[in-house]
Amino acid sequence: MGKSLTQNQLVELAKKGNIEEDGAVLPVVITANDVVVDGFCRARCGNHGIVPSLSKINGKSSSSRSVYVWVGNSETQCPGLCEWPFHEAANGPPSPVLVAPNGDAAMDGVVINLASLLAGAVTNPFGDGYFQGPKEAPLEAGSACPGVFGKGSHPGFAGDLLKDDKSGASYNANGIKGRKFLVPGLFDPATSTCSTVG
């Protein structure tokens, strides 16, 4: 497909995730830092969308819809938009740059965007689920809380976070084998606030 992709080509890549064979699959497409995707850096760091598919259930063909997620690696194209707080922000107030927990600001930025988009794909998969605002520009569970990672966050401040003693990296979630991650806050409809893991 090359190094310049349209949204339709992302759908074609997502279809390779065996959607037809297993409806429980949510394909994730992550593009490399040298791949240009239509709309990337101008309007978004990734998105979730719909993949029309044909599936066989009990031997009968039927049309269905599945969801996919795409996130771009912004390292060489727009780190100030998609890697904050691990890179100086392209917009907004100046803020200290945090140390990425896995030593790779671009991929740690991908983790942040992936977490936000997975939440949106699960709560608003087809554009008629949980969101705020107009359907044409919905604020979803993750996008309703931009830049919120810890308690006390505000524009230019990611919030109170845990800090790794050895590396100085900021994080709010622990993974397997000692891995650390910074994941975004999500909108909690029960409290009408952004809720963080830390």
Which residue ranges make up each domain of the chain? Answer: 4-195
pLDDT tens-digit profile, the chain (198 residues): 899 999 999 999 998 876 666 567 899 999 999 999 999 999 899 999 998 865 555 555 556 788 999 999 999 999 999 999 999 999 989 999 999 999 999 999 999 999 999 999 999 999 999 999 999 889 999 999 999 999 999 999 999 999 999 999 999 999 999 999 999 999 999 999 999 996
Structure confidence at residue 60 (pLDDT) = 58
Whole-model pTM over 0.85: yes
Query: Within 13 Å and on the Cβ side, how many CA atoms surround 138?
Result: 20
Residues 154/160/78/36 CA torsion (nearest 10 deg) = -110
Residues 114 and 46 sit within 8 Å (Cβ to Cβ): yes
Query: Within 13 Å and on the Cβ side, how many CA atoms surround 58?
Result: 0
Structure confidence at residue 16 (pLDDT) = 87
